[in-house]
């Protein structure tokens, strides 16, 4: 592999000197939960933004000089410090062996772990991590959980999938700092048995994918489990969650928050906080506020706060999240890595100013939502992958739309295990949206008619593009509804997957 020599410019040298030779600020904030609160309450958003940019540049120079694959990648692109190209799975990860993507071209020795991605995009990949980098992101996951759920000890029941996948193992390890952990995996019976065994005098935190946590309470209610006696909290991740689903879960859970991460990068990149959830729920009810905060996209994105000393986030011209992990502890550096999630970023001050223009005080929102202290962390919002939509008559229909419609009808939501979207062709060549629902009860014609009656009206109220298309030509955009038993039809492929898949491509395969 060819080598490349990239010289630091004067500004980068000065900024690096000002930042210091080591991650002293990150280490200081890591000392304790109180130092974490202090740091992000009092450090100014402008300083955090500068520090994040500078740390990202340092990470770039480190990778260019010490990672063989990255040096070769830069040389092949004719890159220099003034134009740093994006990387992604196709252009970088799949193009180089795992050892070449590690510092000094080696997987290291003791305490290196290898995680496997879920394969939800078609191909599982392997990712190497050092002991130090795991310890760092596990610590901040613990701090975020403490901020959201309080300092009192928790009994954590970890329902994320176990095995080679990054989330289950690392979440279980991270939450050991917050109390007792039992790694049950996604097993409803084990979770309910554990709740019975330990009893209702503990505070519980359930970890898992949103559809599984929903399934857990549905089964518990069917079995007449005394959920009302327990203080249950939920920390979910792995996929998006609508506010309709949060409302559904809050019938049984005291608090429900979501985290954002990706095995490509690392888990715990960002987390919902009381104030981010409060802002999102305001935007759900106010289209003008949603547009002012997030732009003209009709979807309501997930909204998180993130630690800019660990991750530097940019938005490219396609509105995609481009991320650099800024810590030198990372065994396999990811520099300007594009996971192809759509979204945006805003500093704390910018979000504060926009809310004030609508008459909202971010401090009051945080206090009313249960935020113990004001963390002046930047915000990132996520819509999801660019390739998860269907389009008919110029109307984009998103999985988030269907989920929001579904959870507006709790009776139908309770019996629905999963759903996905596709396009179907009618005689004469007309193409229609098609919604596939996997049901825990036997599909019937009556149920199909109920879904058929629900979806158009809810979509008209929710999705402006769909509403316009419906007004012009309703027969062209009327959804076809197809119902299946568990594990049948397009859902048969989900048996070995740890994430649900939301889109059926025109060739019949699932994306």
Residue pLDDT tens, the chain, 511 long? 555 667 777 676 776 766 765 667 777 888 899 999 999 999 999 999 999 999 999 999 999 999 999 999 999 998 877 889 999 999 999 999 999 999 999 998 778 888 877 544 446 788 899 989 999 999 999 999 999 999 999 999 999 877 667 788 889 999 999 999 999 988 899 999 999 999 999 999 999 988 788 889 989 999 999 999 999 999 998 777 888 889 989 999 999 999 998 888 988 999 999 999 999 999 999 999 999 999 988 778 999 999 999 999 999 999 999 999 999 889 999 999 998 889 999 999 999 999 999 999 999 998 888 877 789 999 999 987 665 677 776 677 888 888 889 988 888 999 998 888 887 877 655 678 899 999 988 999 999 999 999 999 989 988 877 887 788 668 778 899 999 999 898 888 665 444 555 545 444 444 4
Residue ranges of domains in the chain: 390-496
Q: How is residue 332 written in tokens?
A: 């396999």
H-helix segments, 111-187: 131-149, 166-175
pTM: 0.82
Q: What is the spatial distance between Cα 43 and Cα 478, in angstroms, rounded to a whole number?
A: 52
E strands present in 59-211? 113-116, 126-129, 154-158, 179-182, 203-208
Provide the edge-to-edge strand list for the sheet that holds 266-271: 179-182, 154-158, 203-208, 231-236, 255-262, 266-271, 302-306, 379-385, 337-346, 320-325, 311-315
What is the pLDDT at residue 495?
Answer: 52
- Provide CB contacts within 8 A for 363, sequence distance 6+: 374
Do 137 and 265 form a contact (C-beta atoms < 8 A)?
A: no
Q: What is the spatial distance between Cα 243 and Cα 276, in angstroms, rounded to a whole number?
A: 12
Core vs surface per residue 367-391: b (16+ CB within 10 A) or e: bebbbeebbbbbbbbbbbbeebbbe
83: alpha, beta or left? (left if phi > 0; alpha if psi -120 to 50): beta
Distance of CA 451 to the CA centre of its chain: 28
What is the pLDDT at residue 121?
Answer: 46
Q: How many residues does the chain have?
A: 511
With residue 63 as reference, give the H or E element that holds it: helix 45-66
Specify the 3-state DSSP secondary structure of 466: helix
What is the pLDDT at residue 427?
Answer: 66
Instruction: Choose the CATH number for 390-496 among 3.40.50.880, 3.40.50.360, 3.30.230.10, 3.30.300.30.
Output: 3.30.300.30
Nearest to 324 by CA among 380, 272, 266, 268: 266
């Amino acid at each position: 592999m060819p080598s490349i020599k990239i010289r630091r410019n004067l500004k980068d040298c000065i900024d690096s000197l000002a930042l210091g030779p080591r991650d002293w600020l990150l280490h200081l904030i890591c000392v304790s939960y109180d130092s974490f609160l202090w740091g992000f309450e009092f450090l100014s958003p402008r300083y955090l933004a500068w520090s994040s940019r500078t740390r990202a540049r340092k990470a770039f120079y480190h990778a260019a000089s010490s990672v063989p694959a990255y040096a070769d990648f830069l040389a092949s692109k004719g890159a220099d410090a003034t134009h740093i190209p994006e990387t992604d799975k196709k252009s970088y990860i799949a193009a180089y062996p795992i050892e070449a993507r590690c510092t000094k071209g080696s997987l290291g020795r003791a305490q290196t772990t290898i995680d496997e991605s879920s394969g939800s995009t078609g191909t599982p990949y392997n990712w190497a991590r050092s002991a130090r980098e795991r310890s760092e992101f596990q610590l901040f996951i613990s701090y975020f959980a403490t901020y959201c759920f309080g300092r009192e000890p928790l009994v954590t029941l970890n329902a994320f999938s176990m095995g080679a996948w990054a989330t289950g193992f690392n979440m279980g390890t991270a939450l050991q700092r917050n109390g007792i952990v039992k790694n049950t995996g996604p097993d409803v019976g084990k979770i309910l048995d554990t709740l019975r065994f330990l009893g209702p005098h503990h505070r519980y935190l359930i970890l898992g994918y949103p559809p599984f946590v929903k399934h857990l309470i549905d089964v518990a209610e069917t079995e007449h489990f005394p959920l009302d006696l327990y203080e249950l909290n939920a920390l979910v991740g792995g996929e998006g969650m609508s506010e309709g689903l949060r409302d559904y879960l809050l019938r049984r859970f005291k608090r429900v928050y979501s985290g954002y991460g990706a095995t490509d990068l690392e888990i715990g990149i960002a987390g919902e906080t009381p104030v981010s959830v409060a802002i999102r729920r305001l935007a759900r009810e106010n289209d003008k506020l949603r547009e002012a905060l997030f732009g003209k996209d009709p979807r309501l994105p997930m909204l998180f706060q993130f630690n800019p000393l660990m991750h530097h986030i940019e938005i490219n011209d396609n509105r995609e999240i481009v991320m650099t992990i800024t810590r030198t502890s990372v065994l396999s550096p990811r520099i300007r890595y594009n996971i192809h999630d759509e979204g945006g970023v805003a500093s704390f001050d910018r979000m504060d100013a926009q809310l004030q223009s609508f008459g909202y005080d971010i401090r009051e929102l945080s206090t009313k939502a249960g935020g113990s202290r004001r963390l002046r962390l930047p915000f990132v919002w996520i819509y999801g992958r660019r390739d998860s939509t269907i389009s008919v008559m110029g109307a984009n229909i998103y999985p988030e739309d269907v989920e929001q419609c579904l959870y507006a009808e709790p009776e139908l939501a309770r019996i629905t295990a999963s759903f996905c979207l596709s396009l179907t062709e009618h005689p004469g060549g007309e193409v229609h949206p098609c919604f596939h629902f996997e049901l825990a009860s036997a599909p019937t014609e009556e149920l199909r008619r109920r879904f058929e009656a629900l979806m158009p009206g809810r979509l008209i109220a929710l999705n402006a593009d769909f509403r316009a298309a419906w007004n012009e030509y309703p027969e062209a955009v009327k959804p076809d509804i197809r119902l299946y038993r568990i594990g049948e039809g397009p859902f048969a492929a989900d048996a070995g997957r740890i994430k649900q898949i939301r889109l059926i491509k025109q060739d019949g395969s699932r994306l």
